[in-house]
Amino acid sequence: MNATTPQPATSLPNYITSASPNPPEKRAPWYKNTAPTYAGIFLWFVFWDPVTSGGQALAAGLGTALLGLLLAALACHYLFYLVPGLFGMRTGLPLYIVGTSTFGAQGGFIMPGFLMGVLQFGWLGVNAFFSSMLLYNTFAGTTLSPDSTYPVPGHALLVVIWAALAAFMGLKGIQYVARVATYLPLLPLAILLILFAKTVSGVGRFDPQTVIASQKIAQPLSAAGVIALMLTYVVGFFATAGAAGVDFGLNNRDKKDVQMGGLVGIGLAILLTAGLSLMIVAGAYGQAGANPPSAVTATGLMESIMGPNTAKIFWLLLALAAFPPACFSSFIAANSFKTTLPKVNPFVSVGIGTVVSIVLALFGWAGKVVPVFTIIGASFGPICGAMVADYLLNHGRWTGPRAGFNPAGWLAWALGFVVGILPNFGVAIPAAPVLAFIVGLVVYFAAAKTGLQTPVVPVSGPLAEATK
């Protein structure tokens, strides 16, 4: 295909021609938008609490786990976020417009636009599962964990109420949620710091064999296995937010804002939250000595660290702090569907998605975070990889939308997704989300060099300025 052959402007759908870049006067420094928003994502307990992964994350020692965490933080910033953020900063346009240069004017409608909305219901299911689990543990006489047998009647009722209320607020009351969302993430940070202060004396005495014995881990991971696990877990969790760096970047003034927003809001936040969680667990086991606890997560250890009454208060506060992210997932999904399915009532599309979220949470599937994050990483890893290749091929310039379905982008995504999803079918692929990213990058680059790209469609007005 000849990428230089002009296409008539009328071939562009309305969602592209009606787009308008965010002007410079509406942008702000990184510490007012990108960094705090991203940091709020990682302060969500659903990220930092399951990071210990049944004890396997600490099986090769705390130092190895922290090294894996550092590598994962660097991968999130430099591989998954930076180029989308720079695309957003340079163009002032959102992801579903910028993505049309990689996947085509028609293809971008689906990828990443529609896919971003669909995956939000996976996040809603994860949120509903874990938040309802903490609420159940707060008020019920028994304690649930992600490994418990589901469905559980009380937990199921909480899941339905939580997901339905979050979906409704995302559709109709997001402005009220946004008013308190800025401050609620401070609750998880305060809880992490309190728990760390109570357990720090045991960090130096931590012996990974105590976790292996306590959790009855038959095949402990090697150091390389732990690092691969950290990459899979953290990058898989972050993949959709990485592609959304376009939407963050359009609010940034320059490259420094993009870089600093990611280094602080992503890199530092990952190390702080998940790092504290790992050290809290290691410290609690170090303090326990020869009588290790049965739990292996920060929330699971709260009763033994703080006492049952304080633990229940902490669980309740963490659940309340998780409600705004649940609402925002529904809000993002609704906006995605309004763009890609304009003739469908958002209450219908979001309602169907919410039912799916509830089913995932009811039966405990949403609580299996590593397989869930593997799916997310497989879905968005190759998207980010293909966007990076597009960025490099065009020397950092956004070409504008390409006609129809751009074969290079779709081929890159398909092959990357297949590679990324293999671990969920029992195929050992270390750091699958990162490998899916690499496959997406390499395949897009090769496909573009062999002419498998549709032509760029000429644009005018503000969109033409965004391509300069």
How confident is the model over 115-129, as pLDDT tens digits? 888 999 999 999 999
pLDDT at 13 (0 to 100): 82
Residues of the chain with pLDDT > 70, as a percent, come to 97
Of 128-142, 308-322, 338-352, the range with the lowest mean pLDDT is 338-352
Per-residue tokens: 458: 């000429």
pLDDT tens profile 31-72: 999 999 899 999 999 999 999 978 999 999 999 999 999 999
**139 Cβ partners below 8 Å, 6+ apart?**
none
Taking residues 89-94, report their average pLDDT. 94
Whether 318 shows a pLDDT value over 50: the answer reads yes
This model's pTM is above 0.75: yes
Task: Tell me the pLDDT band of 383, cut-offs 50, 70 and 90.
Answer: very high
DSSP string, 47-103: HHSGGGGGGGGGTT-HHHHHHHHHHHHHHIIIIIIHHHHHHHHHH---HHHHTHHHH
Residues of the chain with pLDDT > 90, as a percent, come to 78
Taking residues 8-37, report their average pLDDT. 85
Task: Tell me the pLDDT band of 15, cut-offs 50, 70 and 90.
Answer: confident
Question: Is the backbone peptide bond immediately before 151 cis, with ω within 30 degrees of 0?
Answer: yes
* Greatest Cα pair distance in the chain: 74
Report how far apart, in Å, the C-alpha atoms of 287 and of each of 85, 274, 276, 283, 305 are.
43, 20, 16, 6, 10
State the average pLDDT for the chain: 92
Determine the topology of domain 20-369 in CATH: Hydantoin permease (1.10.4160)
pLDDT at 392 (0 to 100): 97
Whether 307 shows a pLDDT value over 50: the answer reads yes
Taking residues 151-176, report their average pLDDT. 91
Task: Tell me the pLDDT band of 184, cut-offs 50, 70 and 90.
Answer: confident
What are the residues facing 456 on neighbouring strands?
402
Residue ranges per structural domain of the chain: 20-369
Taking residues 219-248, report their average pLDDT. 96
pLDDT at 19 (0 to 100): 85
Taking residues 446-450, report their average pLDDT. 97
Taking residues 172-185, report their average pLDDT. 77
pLDDT at 9 (0 to 100): 46
Alpha helix (H) residue ranges in 141-268: 153-172, 174-181, 186-199, 208-214, 223-243, 245-249, 255-262
pLDDT at 196 (0 to 100): 98
Task: Tell me the pLDDT band of 170, cut-offs 50, 70 and 90.
Answer: confident
